């Protein structure tokens, strides 16, 4: 099996679920003596939050092209590959003459975006799907969406769940928390992780917390806009903390000390933070929609609509020590279903399946 991998995702986002997925595959590939792969990356990848970890992988990473990434991302892979070899891009690119493996993460752009951004993204994604020899979907919900857009698709499609890093786990009572956590430890805080726009329902969460005077909101993710800062000041002044992007060690500490993790997103291809939080023993409140139903199972507090009344009901359950411990225990068990080792092995099995196709 001849395999080429395209690391372009590390040039397109400073951090995110897709970057984590791709890094976890690369990490296991670097340890797998049975698989040889040509891996291509770009110079600005080294500003990524996983740059240090990427540099430590024992992979011979090559440069594909000097074309600026803002253009290269929309072009077919520029380095010639052997005909009928396997090519897998981290983000919807194809290689001419290869058997293209395409991972579909979600259909967020198709459902929630408009204008030029949607046109560019959907054109590239749909072209990759039409050129695919095999398709990986990261949840059953994503596969269902795929067939909504491509009902006559006749290539192999496999659901391969993504995992969660082993670092996310319950910490012992003797654990020495960082200064950041020590500054929060006296607070009853709920944690929000990730992007905040549109369907992520961040503003809905803030509105729901307005009357919860004993609750502080801790925010992890991209820089707050001026509008977001002003909104937070109007609604929950003095009851929020913004931490920006954090590494996994600190994020695990945050999950461990949080009153709960709230994930109000309307739509996800998977929803990595849900499995991270559950693995860390943090109760989860989330929407009963899209792939969240698969990831949270019966281990989360799920709702159709997030509002102040719903939060009050959920907080009452979390204040009951027995109910809280049951949620935590069920969450830890549920999170064990999602393993990066399993994701990697199933991905390699899928490569072999597509490689053998005529």
* Cα 177 from Cα 172, distance rounded (Å): 11
Helix (H) or strand (E) run with residue 101 in it: strand 99-104
Residue tagged 């726009």 (tokens): 197
Indicate yes or no: pTM above 0.85. yes
> What tokens does 146 get?
């795929």
Q: Report, as an integer, the average pLDDT of 33-41.
A: 92
Question: What would the pLDDT profile of 253-298 be if each residue is shown by its tens digit?
Answer: 999 999 999 999 999 999 999 999 999 999 999 999 999 999 999 9
pLDDT value, residue 66: 87
Measure the CA–CA gap between 354 and 88, rounded to whole angstroms: 11
The pLDDT of residue 283 is: 98
Instruction: Please state whether 19 falls in left (phi above 0), alpha (psi between -120 and 50) or beta.
Output: alpha
Q: Are 4 and 37 in contact (CB under 8 A)?
A: yes
The pLDDT of residue 230 is above 90? yes
Residue 89: enclosing H or E segment and its boundaries?
Answer: strand 86-89
Closest CA to 168 of 349, 21, 350, 338: 338
Domains and CATH numbers, the chain: 3-163+339-355 (3.40.50.2000), 179-335 (3.40.50.2000)
Q: What is the pLDDT of residue 13?
A: 87
Q: Span 302-310, mean pLDDT?
A: 95
How many Å from the N-terminal Cα to the C-terminal Cα in the chain?
Answer: 13
Residues 74-110 have pLDDT tens digits of 999 999 999 999 999 999 999 999 999 999 999 999 9
Specify whether the CB–CB gap between 98 and 78 falls below 8 A: no
Predicted pLDDT at 45: 64
CA 29 from centre of chain: 20
Q: Phi/psi at 216 (nearest 5 deg)?
A: -105, 140
pLDDT in tens, 231-251: 999 999 999 999 999 999 999
**pLDDT of 358 over the 90 cut:** no
pLDDT band at 55 (very low <50, low <70, confident <90, very high): confident
Q: What is the mean pLDDT of the chain?
A: 95
Among 164, 180, 192, which residue's Cα sits nearest to residue 278? 164
Query: Per-residue pLDDT tens for 121-154?
Result: 999 999 999 999 999 999 999 999 999 999 999 9
Query: Shortest CA distance to 168 belongs to which of 26, 280, 288, 258?
Result: 280
Confidence of residue 56 (pLDDT cuts 50, 70, 90): confident
């Amino acid at each position: 099996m001849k395999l080429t991998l395209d690391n372009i995702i590390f040039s397109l986002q400073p951090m995110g679920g897709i970057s984590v997925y791709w890094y976890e595959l690369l990490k296991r590939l670097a340890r797998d003596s049975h698989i040889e792969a040509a891996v291509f990356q770009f110079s600005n990848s080294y500003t990524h939050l996983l740059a240090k970890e990427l540099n430590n992988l024992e992979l011979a990473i090559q440069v594909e092209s000097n074309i600026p990434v803002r253009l290269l991302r929309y072009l077919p892979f520029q380095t010639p590959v052997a005909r009928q070899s396997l090519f897998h891009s981290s983000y919807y690119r194809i290689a001419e003459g290869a058997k293209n493996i395409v991972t579909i993460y979600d259909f967020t752009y198709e459902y929630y975006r408009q204008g030029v951004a949607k046109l560019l993204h959907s054109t590239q994604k749909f072209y990759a799907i039409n050129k695919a020899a095999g398709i990986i979907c990261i949840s059953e919900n994503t596969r269902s969406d795929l067939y909504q857009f491509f009902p006559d698709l006749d290539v192999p499609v496999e659901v391969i769940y993504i995992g969660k890093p082993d670092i996310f786990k319950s910490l012992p009572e003797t654990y020495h928390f960082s200064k950041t956590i020590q500054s929060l430890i006296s607070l009853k805080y709920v944690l929000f992780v990730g992007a905040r726009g549109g369907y992520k329902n961040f503003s809905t969460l803030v509105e729901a917390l307005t009357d919860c005077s004993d609750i502080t909101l801790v925010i992890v993710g991209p820089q707050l806009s001026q509008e977001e800062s002003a909104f937070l000041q109007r609604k929950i002044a003095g009851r929020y903390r913004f931490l920006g992007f954090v590494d996994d060690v600190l994020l695990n500490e945050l999950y461990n000390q949080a009153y709960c993790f709230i994930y109000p997103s309307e739509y996800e291809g998977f929803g990595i933070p849900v499995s991270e939080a559950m693995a860390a023993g943090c109760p989860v409140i989330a929407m009963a929609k899209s792939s969240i139903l698969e990831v949270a199972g019966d281990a989360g507090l799920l709702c159709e609509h997030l509002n102040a009344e719903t939060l009050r009901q959920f907080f009452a359950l979390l204040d009951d020590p027995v109910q809280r411990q049951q949620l935590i225990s069920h969450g830890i068990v549920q999170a064990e279903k999602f393993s990066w080792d399993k994701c990697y092995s199933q991905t390699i099995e899928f490569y072999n399946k597509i490689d053998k196709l005529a």
